Amino acid sequence: DGVKFSDLVLEAKKRGYSEPDPREDLSCQDLVRKLLILAREIGLKLDWEDISVSSLVPESLRDISASEFLQRAHELDEPMDTMLKEAAKDGNVPRLLASFSVSEEGRVSAKIGVEYIPAGDMLANLIPGENIFVIYTDWYSEMPLVISGPGAGKHVTAGGVQSDLNQLLAKLTVTG
């Protein structure tokens, strides 16, 4: 779209789509936490070190303050431009994806990183702040079950906190 990646990062922070320090998102640490929660909620044994993670944060931007990172965010532009051009050669777009799978033996493998997705794919056409879950199972092998919707922003976060508080209050009332 001609917009610099660093400008998108700063805009996402301004709109509340990213963590207060965008490196949490760009280094995939926030995604690791979410993937762990999801996997554990469905009963899988998965630990932090079991997940293969490819960070988008260059080494030079990792061990500096958040404010210095924001000032130097333009250093993200060249690597992202390279990824965009590389993906476009084959009609793809880069997308940051988190996934896990369970082998027939029950072994869980998980990875987080940039993958090149065909431009017409549903994963390539998300709007800012949207999350999508594509679920393949024995029953959904030909056509996956797809769940999508807003995954960031003040209203979504507030709704999640309110829901958690309601569940906690219900448990306290029953046991109380």
Which residues are part of the catalytic machinery?
34
In this structure, are strands 108-118 and 92-102 parallel, antiparallel, or unpaired? antiparallel
109 closest CA partner among 99, 121, 95: 99
User: Do 98 and 31 form a contact (C-beta atoms < 8 A)?
Assistant: yes
User: Buried b / exposed e across 148-160, counting CB within 10 Å, b at 16+?
Assistant: eeeebeeebeeee
User: Do 162 and 154 form a contact (C-beta atoms < 8 A)?
Assistant: no
The amino acid at 34: K
User: Do 62 and 27 form a contact (C-beta atoms < 8 A)?
Assistant: yes
